Amino acid sequence: MSWKLRLCLLLLAIDTTAITVLDSGLIRDWGQWYGTSVPYRRQTDAFFDGRLALSENPGTIDFDMVWTNGSVQQVWGLGVPLWRFPFEVVARAFGQAAFPDRIALALAIMISAYWILKAVAVPPGIAQISAWGDSVFKKPGAIIAALVVTFFPQALMLCRGPMNVYEEPVLYSYYLSVGLLAAAIYFNRRPTFLAYLVISLIAGAAGFVRPTSLAYGGATMLTIGLCGLSARWSWRHLLIGPILFALGGALLGFTNWVRFGAFGEFGHRLNLTGMDMLLFSRFHAPYVNEPLWPALKELFSALFAVDRFNELGEAYAGDILRWQSPTTRWRHFYESTFDFSHLAMLAGGIAIAAASFRKAMARHVEKLQSPAVVAAIWSTVSFAVLSMFYLNFHCISSRYILDYSPAFAAASLACISRHDELVAFAQPISRHSRILLKFSLVAWLGWWGMELDRCKNYYPASPVWTQEVALQAGERNNAEVVIPSSYIVCDIKDREFQDDLAGIPFNGLGWTEGGRTKSVVMLFVQDPSFIELQIAAAPGMSPSQTQWNSIQAKIGITFLNRQSVVQQGANRVIRFAAEDDRQAFAGTQVAFVSFPLTDGIGEGAIPDEGLSPFFLERVTWRKRQADLNRWTGSGVE
């Protein structure tokens, strides 16, 4: 490929990126090119200090973050901050306080767009601009396929909606994933060992951006492995790719272990989030046991038949999805997902992949030179892996379903490319048939336009900040906090907010004023040897023995065993401890205590609003200290 053609593709990629970021409002005015993803900015700042932790002070924790191993961690992945970090280094070398993160996002989109254009829009054997221009005129399907993937409607919808730390990794994941698809298609055309190694490494590291990106990394690994097989590479060379892919996954697991204490823990069983998510992700998630058929119907509905958008306060409404299961599950749909046209494209991609597999089984093995076959296999595999993950997941949201966008983009690419191949194979072709085939390409553009119009956001777009505002938003009060040796009910009565015990945000969440508890109580404790709860029945309540037995406790991700129950008048003192008495929980830890709700967890139950039948009077976690004499509550000592 000549340098002139490469430059032409680069300029076209820059143009498509500029259209994406300016038309969508990702960048709105000069100087307004900083997003609202404060956790990512705090993470890049931590990199400059040589650490993964955002802070070692629990008083600086924000919503949905994690306190573990004596540090504050964010749960939205290290991939985006790692991408931003080199740009931040350059900015600070030139005396700037920060690099515009929306420009960093635009550069990621541009690189992905360039590889999509290079792999998809330029047919094999084309090296000059003039030849490429002729090919575009004669076979426009290739450039249309490339532009549909680059400007995929769901990706543009993400750009136009709320773009904060929840949605930004989904957008990064989309362009990383379709970039991997483009790399696989280009590798299929020119399989070199160096490219095989690089693609394998990037595919293995995809989970750093978003855990579900590993589905696309795995699909990429499979397709380039098949390409290597069709090129008759030796097994010795082919096995190096999966080893590098596994190394990427192992590095991700190692950072999980350092940050969250377990190889496969991404922080979502530890983050300080809403009451319902605390219950479902830590103790009791009814939907994980949902039978296969109702779960399949609900996943199908979430993909193709969302009846309406819903507010966070309606997360347990029963009329969000067309074939919604009655089982309690957190559901939040605020962006358009997909429709039956995407289902048709997916079916087309599966058919192309199945036909290719049938030919291979019949020993009609030929080089996988068709982009349609590569894209179809990639789409089918990634769709299947994602579906297995989300089928019984305890919660579902439109942003989770948008993780499927690369799979559907690949399916559309496969169908358009197959159409272009049919045109090429049908020579000579009648004039009327040629007009019909060209008209179908126009229909693709029409579909793209209608999808753009259909894709909506319930919430308005996030603001775009200046550098000054972005830096101010990342500042936190680093004042030292002191955790007492116990919490008592008077602490709840005497403080202004319900979830800031000892000056730590969210500390005491679920322990209401007056002592009643919700489904989960969350507390920061210091050097706990056990968790001891002094509990009574709430006024007017008579909890059953089953409800008493249902009370559970955890420290971090570790379940504690019920060690003893002592009756003290109307109160019961329940002590929980680790299975191994020698297991130490050093430093500041987060304890989670689960209580059964008065009405249970069933159809229509809202864990965030329900109260348990219990009154929590005291929580201790070490041997009684003299400072416990500060007790001024009722009914004890």
CB atoms within 10 A of CB 383: 22
Beta bridge partners of 562: 576
Which tokens hold the place of 265?
């823990």
Task: Give yes or no for residue 51 having a pLDDT over 50.
Answer: yes
Above pLDDT 90, what percent of the chain?
Answer: 62
514 torsion bin: left (phi>0), alpha (psi -120 to 50), beta (else): left
Q: Which of 509, 502, 499, 503 is nearest to 477 (CA)?
A: 503
Residue 335 neighbours by CB under 8 Å, 6+ apart: 157, 158, 161, 398, 399, 402, 455, 456, 457, 458
Q: What is the pLDDT of residue 215?
A: 97
Could you tell me which residue, 428 or 25, shows the higher pLDDT?
Answer: 25
Residues 581-620 pLDDT 10s: 656 788 999 999 999 887 654 444 455 557 889 999 999 9
Q: Which of 492, 552, 481 is nearest to 516 (CA)?
A: 492
Could you tell me which residue, 363 or 396, shows the higher pLDDT?
Answer: 396
Q: What is the pLDDT of residue 176?
A: 98
Determine the 3-state secondary structure of 72 from DSSP: strand
Residues 280-290 pLDDT 10s: 888 888 899 99
Q: How confident is the model at residue 500 (pLDDT cuts 50, 70, 90)?
A: confident
Above pLDDT 70, what percent of the chain?
Answer: 90
Residues 435-471 pLDDT 10s: 666 777 788 888 999 999 999 999 999 999 999 999 9
Residues 546-586 pLDDT 10s: 999 999 999 999 999 999 999 988 899 999 999 876 567 88
Which stretches within 328-430 are classed as H helix?
340-361, 371-390, 398-401, 405-425
Beta bridge partners of 522: 592
Q: How confident is the model at residue 630 (pLDDT cuts 50, 70, 90)?
A: very low
Could you tell me which residue, 535 or 366, shows the higher pLDDT?
Answer: 535
Task: Give yes or no for residue 265 having a pLDDT over 70.
Answer: yes
Separation in Å, CA 123 to CA 4, 134, 246: 16, 11, 33
